[in-house]
Structure 1
């Protein structure tokens, strides 16, 4: 087996070790230790840069600096696949493929190290914690890791895309992801004497219907807008009207102004319904990751490099899932791309099983992308 085959096998083995020992967001202590050890085996120095978990390594020297990012955390999901490297952590699984992303960018780092003398600047490798909780990107930014970086690139495997396919788009790609909780405080009482109560269940039912008009009647239908109420909690038994009902849900948009408009409209609806029913309704709104908006120049550039590397290029729709990489693109230029992993089950599924064959070609792609990006800036 040649050097290429050995590295490909090594990356696959590393992915399987990461898969067997997954760690949740912010708890990636052993993952970080493994990465540091593996990088050192190839004479790549790394540092925490002040992060509690996660790792950063620079390859090359001087300006400009191009960054490659991989996410390293797992999900609180119990794996339902019986294989030699099934998760050993009960209720924790790499069900989103961050183990694939990590091994891919490890491979890119090793390939770049072998050509370090040729680099027209520096490639900064970022192994980011806590993507699933949308905190990790902000931790990286707050640590100053991107302060002197000219552009950043990252990717996500996509089970719905066949192996060997590549997709990205200029401009908006992944969505703003916001979360809301609505608490209705009414007056409880006997279910047989509802006139003596201010029934929060009735209020909740009206609120659910009214909230659906935001996307259908308040927002231009040509704009992306999804409002979903996904949880309802209230009551303890069949013959008592409760004091309180809680609703939770999510809003997905792409345009910043639509994101703001939806929150304003939701609060206005809540205020009107609360007044009409003489109840108190509290809204807790939590902004999640911002929409991921690719820099057109770098999206086009990344697609061209992929085509040159032999990927089949496909058109990609807007995604309504979230990705904290968008926080980076609010600060500096760059591009996020999709690479097909051909899994029969999708992301966050307990039987998700991506094709490992994507790892080495993707590592070669990102090494080439970084080299060419440096050359285009220098």
Structure 2
């Protein structure tokens, strides 16, 4: 059975990898997963979702959830595999095809032992994780009401293939995105005194922003302010009217997150007055930091160890994850699964070691079964 299931899951994974879809456009991916789940007589819930699906296995009072994401990224693939992306400029550079396939395998295994389950397992195939909105869409359907614990996975290419990693407390960073528009006054490059140069303002912002972490935030805090885009001007002999900057803030502490946002606003207000320009800040708050429940994090590692998986306590990571929105509603743990590298997430040469697919499905099924038993024993 395991050899047949492994072959089947690899086939599904290859197809998902070949036809990646961007956030909120996972229509074919949703249909493919739904078709495969229904082939195995797994109950797909009727929910008001444009993309993504939730299934339910088992019955009874107790309930837990598993979550895997399904969207891809706007990256041109550079991996030399026969199942490479057929969509120009789109690839699964974050491994969500693996997450979805592992959850499919877990659903099949749980269905086989459905009569033994001590409750219900709802498995979420979530859209739009890359834009940070998919979890909120799932929550809004009400499908997670009365769920007693939730577990999610993400592959980690910095870990050896197949290692199960977890930790209590902050695991991923809170993510904020900002863009800054500077409106000044352009002029001929030979007569700068006739204008108000936005490039000077832009340069000043870049320089002062570097002091936020180094001089305003306690050195014990892991925080990042990164400027990632700078645009201005059209040609060599014109001082432009406008300039644009964009960047991101990563934090693991709510207070520090608020402090950095305040510092950025204060800096921009001061520069705006100093240089007599108009500065508009567009602040887009993303998901908060994933905060793993201590008990469920330990439980996730114990299950891995009991079933002879290699496991370890890992360090927190500055990546973002909208799984954190679920944790604002219920306890749970986000788990990293080693995918073997060598290229990092979001790299055009990123590649999953497919040998981890079936073991990951087995682990997730065992985790769900054991979690329901644990809840039943605690409440009986």
Same fold (TM over 0.5): yes
Structure 1 SS opposite 2:88: coil
* Structure 2 partner of 1:118: 116
* Structure 2 partner of 1:78: 76
State which of 169, 177, 180 in structure 2 corresponds to 1:179.
177
Alignment partner of 1:338 is 2:333: no
Structure 1 gap ranges (5+): none
For the 8 Å contact 2:174–2:250, the answer to whether it is kept is yes
- Name the TM-score, length of structure 2 as normaliser: 0.97
| Pairs within 5 Å for 1:19-34 | 19-34=17-32
Q: Which region of structure 1 is more displaced relative to structure 2, 299-308 or 75-84?
A: 75-84
CA displacement at 1:52 relative to structure 2: 0.6
State which of 189, 192, 199 in structure 1 corresponds to 2:190.
192
Structure 1 CA distance, aligned partners of 2:243 and 2:226?
Answer: 17
State which of 335, 350, 353 in structure 2 corresponds to 1:352.
350
For the 8 Å contact 1:188–1:243, the answer to whether it is kept is yes
State which of 139, 142, 151 in structure 1 corresponds to 2:140.
142
| Pairs within 5 Å for 1:4-83 | 4-83=2-81
For the 8 Å contact 2:175–2:250, the answer to whether it is kept is yes
Q: Deviations over 1:267-318 (max 9, x none)?
A: 0011111111111111111001111111111111101111112222233222
CA displacement at 1:191 relative to structure 2: 1.6
CA displacement at 1:75 relative to structure 2: 1.1
Structure 1 SS opposite 2:128: coil
Structure 1 SS opposite 2:196: coil
* Structure 2 partner of 1:249: 247
* Structure 1 partner of 2:155: 157
Aligned pair count reads 376
Q: Which region of structure 1 is more displaced relative to structure 2, 189-198 or 299-308?
A: 189-198
* Structure 2 partner of 1:295: 293
State which of 313, 324, 327 in structure 2 corresponds to 1:326.
324
For the 8 Å contact 2:222–2:252, the answer to whether it is kept is yes
For the 8 Å contact 2:162–2:360, the answer to whether it is kept is no
Q: Which region of structure 1 is more displaced relative to structure 2, 39-48 or 10-19?
A: 39-48
Structure 1 CA distance, aligned partners of 2:24 and 2:179?
Answer: 24
* Structure 1 partner of 2:92: 94
Structure 1 CA distance, aligned partners of 2:149 and 2:297?
Answer: 11
Q: Deviations over 1:207-254 (max 9, x none)?
A: 111111111111111112110111111111111111111111110001
Structure 2 gap ranges (5+): none
Structure 1 SS opposite 2:318: coil
Structure 1 SS opposite 2:122: strand
Structure 2 SS opposite 1:86: coil
CA displacement at 1:48 relative to structure 2: 4.4
* Structure 1 partner of 2:311: 313
For the 8 Å contact 1:48–1:54, the answer to whether it is kept is no
CA displacement at 1:112 relative to structure 2: 0.6
- Name the TM-score, length of structure 1 as normaliser: 0.97
CA displacement at 1:352 relative to structure 2: 1.3
Alignment partner of 1:278 is 2:288: no
